[in-house]
């Protein structure tokens, strides 16, 4: 019986995987990978059999129980099996279900962390998630598909909040945050496909996002994050953003 490695592929760029992760990919016999893992990332494992088992929001995807079975089946046939996940395996990656399945099957495993999208997105827009005297707490959140509301009470308490998989609920999320006391002037960024060739980002205010302006800009084909908080405001040393749409200022960035 083989060993399974749960490896974080990072946010997108192939050279942002850890050295350990890249080494283990190069030794793997089978790699079961998420849909968002890029072809450039898979170039680290040309010798391996590749099995796509990923999920994409709003699209037909592989059931988790079937993924669990595939991982176990491969581990019973091969010595080195990699389960390659976008970002970090332990954040919004359903790792607990896969670890439970491996433990019940008596299969040895190792977890290799990766850079999660929120950290990559903060670097992409050159805005720290924390800031002395402004923001000392950060929340990473996601909205369950079955729910029409978010846990606003918890999210409002965080100085900076980052929503994964919040693209389709951007206006609703912003409106609820405002209704529960978050200032409507709070900076609210959308960052798409951070660190990839398709990366782009745009700053709004929470008021603009609640009005649906972010929804009209977001590309539904790209993974995106909503990033909200005063730490994400423009610095005095930055170039002054142009006034657009009736004098409302925001910034936009793209990958180099």
Q: Which one is catalytic: 85, 155, 165, 227? A: 165
Give the contacts of 255 (CB within 8 A, at least 6 positions apart): 124, 195, 196, 197, 198, 199, 200
In the chain, the largest separation of any two C-alpha atoms, in whole Å, equals 65
Which CATH architecture best describes the domain 3-112? Answer: 3-Layer(aba) Sandwich (3.40)
- Inform me whether the pLDDT recorded for 240 exceeds 60: no
Q: In 3-state terms, the chain is what percent helix, strand and coil (to 5)?
A: 30, 25, 45
Domain 3-112 and domain 117-254, same fold? Reply is no
Is there a catalytic annotation at residue 159? no
What predicted TM-score, i.e. pTM, was given to this entire model? 0.87
**Higher-pLDDT residue of 28, 144:** 28
Considering only CA atoms, give the Rg of the chain: 20
Please tell me the predicted confidence (pLDDT) of residue 239: 64
Please tell me the predicted confidence (pLDDT) of residue 238: 82
CB of 205 closer than 8 Å to CB of 131: no
Sign of the Cα torsion 116, 129, 155, 229 reads negative
Neighbouring CB atoms inside 10 A of 253's CB total 15
DSSP state of 157: H
The band of 151, judged by pLDDT with boundaries at 50, 70 and 90, is confident
Is there a catalytic annotation at residue 79? no
Which CATH architecture best describes the domain 117-254? Answer: 2-Layer Sandwich (3.30)
Q: What is the mean pLDDT of the chain?
A: 89
Residues 8-27 have a mean pLDDT of 97
Is there a catalytic annotation at residue 34? yes
The helix/strand/coil state of 90 is coil
pLDDT in tens, 197-210: 999 999 999 999 99
Task: Please give the Cα distance from 193 to 87 (Å, whole number).
Answer: 12
Please tell me the predicted confidence (pLDDT) of residue 61: 59
- Inform me whether the pLDDT recorded for 110 exceeds 80: yes
Domain parsing of the chain, residue ranges: 3-112, 117-254
Q: Which one is catalytic: 3, 55, 131, 168? A: 55
pLDDT in tens, 30-84: 999 998 899 999 999 999 999 999 765 555 557 999 999 999 999 999 999 999 9
Which region among 120-134, 148-162, 175-189 has the lowest average model confidence (pLDDT)? 148-162
pLDDT in tens, 242-256: 333 322 333 455 554
């Amino acid at each position: 019986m083989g060993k399974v490695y749960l490896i974080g592929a990072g946010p997108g760029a192939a050279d942002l995987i850890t050295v350990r992760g890249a080494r283990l990919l190069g030794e793997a016999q089978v790699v079961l990978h998420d849909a968002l893992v890029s072809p450039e990332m898979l170039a680290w494992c040309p010798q391996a059999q590749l099995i796509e088992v990923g999920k994409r929001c709003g699209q037909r995807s592989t059931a988790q129980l079937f993924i669990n079975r595939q991982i176990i089946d491969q581990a019973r046939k091969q010595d080195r099996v990699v389960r390659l996940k976008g970002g970090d395996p332990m954040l919004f990656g359903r790792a607990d279900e896969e670890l439970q399945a491996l433990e019940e099957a008596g299969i040895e495993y190792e977890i290799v962390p990766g850079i999660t999208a929120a950290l990559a997105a903060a670097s992409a827009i050159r805005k720290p998630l924390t800031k002395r005297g402004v923001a000392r707490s950060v929340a990473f959140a996601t909205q369950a598909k079955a729910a029409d509301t978010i846990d606003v009470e918890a999210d409002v308490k965080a100085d900076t909040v980052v929503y994964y998989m919040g693209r389709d609920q951007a206006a609703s999320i912003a409106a609820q945050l405002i209704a529960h006391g978050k200032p409507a002037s709070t900076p609210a960024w959308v960052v798409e496909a951070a660190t990839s060739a398709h990366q782009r980002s745009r700053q709004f205010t929470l008021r603009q996002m609640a009005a649906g302006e972010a929804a009209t800009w977001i590309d539904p084909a790209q993974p995106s994050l909503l990033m909200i908080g005063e730490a994400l405001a423009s610095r005095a040393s930055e170039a002054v953003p142009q006034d657009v749409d009736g004098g409302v200022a925001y910034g936009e960035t793209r990958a180099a």
